[in-house]
Structure 1
Amino acid sequence: MNILIADHHPVFRRGLRSMMKDHKEFSFKAKVDDANDLIASIAFHHPDVLILEVDLPNSSGIGTLRELRSHFPDLKVLVVSYHPEEIYAISAVKAGANGYISKTRSIKEVRKSLLSIARGESYLSEEMKSQIDNKNNKDILKFKKLSTREIEVLNLLSKGRRNKEIAKALSIHEKTVSTYKTRLLKKLKVDNIADLIHQSRLLQIAS
């Protein structure tokens, strides 16, 4: 299985390769540390699986997955991140990822996730599946009301980004950002942007 790692943390890349060296079924052929090089690198190396950090520099986050799907519909993608699993896992899968795993997980589970994805299966941790199935989890219920794009806008708002910056990051019009903000206010039942940002933190969307 040929793997391309798209991650800007050298320690993570080297650590993963080192810990997986005894598993001969995996071959780490290339690495990318900037989203500007991602599409060209995939086209050149033809990996079986892409390990993608959701916060890769010059990336639009989860939105990058949609772009990858338009270029490489059959590419298998495992998203890795330090972000809260219960939020980004759902968003990543909705955007086209085959699986999601937190960087805090064991190497054994990373191997399990890669093998599952290579077989054409999807992968989420057992804890994640349990949380999604828990109908009493208020945070998950709130999150399920939001679209992938709304999550992206909310995440950028929580980081203090202005409408113009959000529009540029997501390649949308400023007026569209305002529309998403209005929808978020309504869906999360708050009256102003300050409360909206507070909600995003309660939902653990903020990094």
Structure 2
Amino acid sequence: MDIMIVDDHPLFREGLKTIVKRDNRYTVCAEAGNGREGLALARDHSPDIMLVDISMPEKNGIQMVRELKSSLPNTQFIIISMHSEADYIVEAFRAGATGYMIKESAAGQLIKGLDTVAAGELFLDSALSQEVVFKLLQTKPNSPGGRNDPYATLTPREQEVMQMLAEGLTAKEVAERLFISPKTVENHRTNLMKKLGLKSTVELVRYAARLGLIDIGTWAI
């Protein structure tokens, strides 16, 4: 089976590749260091399983999964993230992931995770708390986000703009990447800030970091 890895840390990608190569049933067909590159390569290679981080530049892992589910219906997605909080995990499964693993467990559980999702079953890291299962049981599949999740009320374009702004891009830079006008970017910014109840860029960055969309370690706030 073809495996694709999307993570912005080269050393971690190398570690995952080493583990995968130990099992001759799996082959790494492609790898990417950011979400946008990952989208393009995934559509080119149509992997059987994708291993995806959440916090990545340009487009986060949850956005990637959400966008690829329709165009790659036969691909399974395992999120491998440093985040073990229930909210991240629930959001990942809502987006279409079929597995979730924390990075600390990857060395011991990666092959088990691949085998599980390859068999058409859901995989949840054994190190994760029962709170995750409880939240999944309490969440209706067709109501992403729920009442307490304003991020889910954003449109896909607003989520994309939010991530880029949180990464520090200017409205002009966002406009150039998305092939829209700076005025349109500002309109999206105004709408998403209102929906999220945020009043400044600092609050936006902190909110994105809490969701796991960016690595707060790159910001001095």
- Kept in 2, the 8 Å contact 1:3–1:27? The answer is yes
| Aligned counterpart, 1:27 | 27
Q: Tell me the equivalent position of 1:63.
A: 63
- 1:17-56 correspondence to structure 2 within 5 Å: 17-56=17-56
Which residue pairs with 1:112 in the alignment?
112
- Percent identical pairs in the alignment equals 25
Q: Secondary structure at the match of 2:116?
A: helix
TM-score normalised by structure 1 residue count: 0.69
Return the alpha-carbon distance in structure 1 between the equivalents of residues 191 and 109 of structure 2: 40
Structure 1, residues 56-99: CA drift from partner, whole Å, max 9, x if none? Answer: 32114422222112322332111111223423111111111111
Alpha-carbon deviation of 1:107? 2.0
TM-score normalized by the length of structure 2? 0.66
Are residues 110 and 148 of structure 1, via their aligned partners in 2, closer, same or farther at CA, if it must alter by over 3 Å? Answer: farther
Show the counterpart of 2:219: none
In structure 2, the residue matched to 1:74 is: 74
Q: Distance in 1 between matches of 2:83 and 2:112?
A: 20
Deviation by residue 1:14-62 (Cα, 9 ceiling, x = unmatched) = 1122233322221112211232322331232221101112223211442
Distance change (3 Å), C-alpha of 1:78 and 1:179: same
Q: In structure 1, what is the Cα distance between the partners aligned to 2:3 and 2:61?
A: 20
Residue 161 of structure 2 is aligned to residue 146 of structure 1? no
State the number of aligned residues. Answer: 190
Question: Which residue does 2:138 correspond to in 1?
Answer: none
Paired letter, 1:70 = S
Does the CA contact (< 8 Å) of 1:100 and 1:123 recur in 2?
Answer: yes
Q: In angstroms, what is the RMSD of aligned CA positions?
A: 4.0
Q: Is the 8 A contact 2:88 2:211 kept in 1?
A: no
Where do 5+ consecutive residues of structure 2 fail to align?
Answer: 136-144, 179-184, 217-221
CA distance in 2, matches of 1:175, 1:40: 29
User: Secondary structure of 1:114's match?
Assistant: helix
